[in-house]
Structure 1
Amino acid sequence: MTESDSADVRLLTPADVRRLAERLGVRPTKTLGQNFVIDPGTVRRIVRTAQVGPDDVVVEVGPGLGSLTLALLPHVRHVTAVEIDPRLAEALPGTVAEHAPGHADRLRVVTADALRITELPDPQPTALVANLPYNVAVPVVLHLLHLLPTLERGLVMVQAEVADRLAARPGGRSYGAPSVKAAWYAEVRRAGAIGRTVFWPVPNVDSGLVALRRRPAPETKADREEVFAVVDAAFAQRRKTLRAALSAWAGSASAAEAALRAAGVDPRARGEALDVADFARIAEHRP
């Protein structure tokens, strides 16, 4: 983006955020996981790290008062903002018209729960860029990756612990079901840390950036639901061996052992030792 491209965009300052919230009668709630970004430098960093460009269509979940939305609009072709709070959804176009009048036509606001949407209006998104509510971050990422095959990549800001889980590799302490399920869709990596003071209200935890790049699902005869069922069973009792953890899934411990051996997996192993391709092979051998 050139300097002239952003000349008519004024990002939200801490005073702007509080003024907007007061005008709308909005008090951030833990129920909706609302923590508004008040630091212009942080939203610039998110956009820069997301590596979006003029051909991209971005879906942003939880735009809130519009801090990140304003930073995105000069860089991309279009932003579809999905907001669950009707007051915030209704106010966002006006905020954009005031702070980024030359880019207001690039915004569409969808008032909806991102976990319940079944489609988005055209143009279809190529990238997910969002400050996700902490309490639904993982299911939102997985739902959108499944729902929107046009998504090529993403950059999300989430609770630091969630970022660790999403980006974890087999064998690590943070590795679990979210790690495996995200890996079904994409290459996932940590893309930086975010401190607490860039938010209002200040959360009790640090945040992290997670970058995702779409890749093909593992080649397997099992479908996604079948593979995820194995993943859920393996990590529901993660201290147990796979022979024991998968006994209910397979019908018995002996049947689980047979499926594991057929898949080339040691029945004494635990779920955190396996990658997504291993789980896919196990799913193919369910009795």
Structure 2
Amino acid sequence: MGVGAEVVDLTKSFGDQTVWSNVSLTVPAGDITVLLGPSGTGKSVFLKTLIGLLRPDRGRVYIDGQELTAMNERDLYAIRQRCGVLFQDGALFGSMTVYDNIAFPLREHTRKTEKEIRRIVGERLELVGMSGDEDKLPSEISGGMRKRAGLARALVMDPELILCDEPDSGLDPVRTAFLGKLIAELNAETGATFLIVTHDINTARTLPDHIGMLYKGELIAFAPRAEILESEEPVVKQFLNASLDGPIGMAEEKDAEDPLAHAGAAP
């Protein structure tokens, strides 16, 4: 079963640049929550701060009621073991087969035998629809398959909280819809909590139980999906309708060109 996460008055900056400040929200256990926002608003930084890869300047982070911001590295490591992360590009090791990529966390962090690992990896490959692809290299499969392989690796330790950083980036609308359906099925089957950063409007409209939105350094909205979809808040309404009319302008930079996208790289 999934665990909940909570942040209280969270503030993060790099040098004199504040990414966001005084952010408070609760990610309900067992639900799917989506975090929206224009490019460059620090959504990826938020995910890394949530699991302790980055330390906030102020505020507190709780996972399953335990405060991460007060933990030493050993206790933080134990909490991270309960989390799975799907990075934007799948973050697969290019020299390893799909099988070895998915098996890597088990070999690195557990004492399971190769027989046990083979069973678990096989189950996760089946879950994401990639049975039979285990001997391929990442360069030999499509972008969508790399995302699914990355998701299988995120699931391999039976995480209770799964963070997905733009899992739909680079995918066409049909494959994005398939990936969303897969996440919904995994949530129903495993009961794990999902927190997903995305720009995809259809994903936001159909997948989550709750939606939050970051804009100009603030959390301007967080509520159940139905409430957000009916919101008259100008930024939320503009974003969800992909409208030119509203506060969001053309000056937003792409994530790949934004220094915040690289400032929080995992050590």
Report if TM-score (shorter chain) is over 0.5: no
TM-score by length of 2: 0.29
Report the structure, 1 or 2, having the larger helix content: 1
Q: TM-score, normalised by structure 1?
A: 0.27
